Copies of this chain bind each other. A is one copy, B any other.
Amino acid sequence: MTRDREATSRRILEAARELFAEHGYDQVTMRMIASEAGANVALVNRYFGTKAALFAEALATGSTLAAVIDGDPSGLASRLAHRLAVRLQSGVTESVTRMVDRAGTSPEIRAILHAHVEATVVKRIAAQLEGPRPEQRALLAATMIMGTGSVRRLFGPGVIEEVDAEEVEERLREMFAICLRP
């Protein structure tokens, strides 16, 4: 057994990120994280303090939505619609929505998530919008992102297979256009 604090804590953080994204905060135990990282439970606490602190740190790294949001403002609706349609078809959902969806009701955890979604989704979308109340419209877009995740996870791959992906994408594009327009 090679002893490497940096490598170990990095493995722990990666395992935490994947597990939290997949199962949400409550459903993941410190022992699951330790096991996945090939480390001891006590080390997880020693390196990251508490479970909530580890969650916050895992959240700070790994949002792929930002790359979709950033870009040409006029194509934002199309990019978001395409992303959601692809995710519906592939069976994968945004890790952010999974986490929100399964966050549990701990005020501390919801506060951490709130700050993260506000910074990486709402503010980021709002920054591209012109006209009054950009955050209100960005919030509506966030609604659709979150809702897609919830529904997809609840209904599973069975229902979605009967769906015409192109038609859904076109409808989503129009819906995004409505909530993003000035």
Chain A residues in contact with chain B, CB under 8 A? 23-24, 26-27, 97, 100-105, 110, 113-114, 117-118, 133, 135-137, 139-140, 142-148, 150-151, 153-156, 159, 162-164, 167-168, 171-172, 174-175, 178-179
Contacts and interface: CB of A to CB of B under 8 A. Distances in A.
A154 B115 CA distance: 9
Contacts of A164: 133, 136
Nearest to A102: B105
Contacts of A101: 100-101, 150
A136 B167 contact: yes
A9 to B, nearest CB: 26
14 contacts: A23-B105, A100-B154, A102-B103, A102-B104, A110-B154, A114-B154, A114-B156, A117-B155, A133-B162, A133-B164, A139-B159, A143-B144, A144-B144, A146-B151
Nearest to A140: B171
B104 A27 contact: yes
B163 A136 contact: yes
Given A136-B163, A147-B147, A148-B143, A24 B154 contact: no
A140 B163 CA distance: 11
B151 A139 contact: yes
